[in-house]
């Protein structure tokens, strides 16, 4: 990868770091049930804070974005994530960075991040990326915002909106994702709907998607 790409990537990272006022100003977990047990874990901004006197340089360093991670079966996507778990110094800073590698004709399925906006920049290959937003003129419809992305192109997905990335090029696609939360969350739409535990009653799914129960059962089997 050329020096120019690294400079561009660093510039994007610096841009996100400058938006400190927008970081994690809302809850970092899906829920926070009060603990009556005095021995229970205590979470402060998502993690317990270390005594600053015990901090080391290693707390603010991580490696691995130069190589692909392990591919997820079926979808052909590999992820390498740098978050507060791999770089403790990110705690309270509201930053997560990830590298994704998509094989030919592979897709990052429809998903959303409930606690973060996501900005991506393509390093190699060609992506078709887009997100869905509500249509202010029709409550029952949505608007698709999409773009073909080549190396050096940048695209942003607003917080909480459903989005996807699809490799439409002739080789593996590699892109970086920057999220303005240390715990952005991930909701995979198909699996959330058809593979929940316990499952959503098939009658509700059938009515909601205007399908019959046999078709719903097939989808549940597919995504379970």
- And the tokens for 50? 């270390």
Q: What are phi and psi of 33, to 5 degrees?
A: -80, 130
Which helix (H) or strand (E) is 188 found in, with range? strand 187-188
What are the CA-CA distances from residue 16 to residues 12, 74, 94 (Å)?
6, 32, 9
- And the tokens for 40? 């229970």
d(CA 47, CA 55) in angstroms, rounded, equals 15
111 in a labelled binding site: yes
64 in a labelled binding site: no
Please tell me whether residue 52 adopts helix, strand or coil conformation.
helix
d(CA 58, CA 63) in angstroms, rounded, equals 11
Task: For residue 160, give the nearest of 189, 135, 140 by alpha carbon.
Answer: 189
Q: Where are the alpha helices (DSSP H) in 65-201?
A: 189-194
Contact 205, 214 (CB under 8 A): no
In sequence order, the 6+-apart residues with CB closer than 8 A to the CB of 37 are none
53 in a labelled binding site: no
Tokens 């005594």 belong to 51
Binding site residue list for Mn(2+): 111, 113, 163
Binding site residue list: 111, 113, 163
Binding site residue list for oxalate: 113
């Amino acid at each position: 990868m050329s020096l120019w790409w690294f400079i561009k990537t660093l510039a994007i990272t610096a841009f996100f770091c400058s938006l400190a006022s927008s970081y994690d100003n809302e809850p970092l977990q899906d829920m926070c049930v009060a603990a009556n047990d005095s021995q229970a874990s205590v979470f402060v901004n998502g993690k317990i804070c270390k005594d600053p006197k015990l901090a080391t340089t290693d707390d603010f360093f991580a490696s691995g974005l130069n190589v692909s991670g392990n591919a997820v079966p079926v979808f052909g996507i590999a992820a390498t994530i740098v978050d507060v778990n791999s770089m403790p110094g990110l705690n309270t800073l509201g930053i997560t960075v990830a590298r994704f590698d998509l094989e030919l004709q592979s897709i990052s399925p429809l998903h959303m991040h409930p606690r973060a906006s996501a900005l991506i920049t393509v390093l190699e290959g060609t992506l078709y990326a887009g997100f869905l937003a509500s249509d202010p003129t029709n409550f029952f419809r949505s608007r698709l915002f999409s773009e073909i992305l080549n190396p050096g192109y940048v695209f942003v997905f607003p917080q909480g909106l459903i989005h996807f990335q699809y490799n439409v090029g002739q080789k593996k696609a590699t892109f970086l994702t920057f999220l303005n939360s240390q715990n952005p969350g991930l909701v995979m739409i198909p699996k959330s709907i058809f593979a929940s535990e316990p499952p959503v009653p098939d009658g509700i799914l059938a009515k909601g998607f205007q399908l019959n129960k046999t078709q719903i059962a097939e989808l549940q089997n597919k995504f379970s």
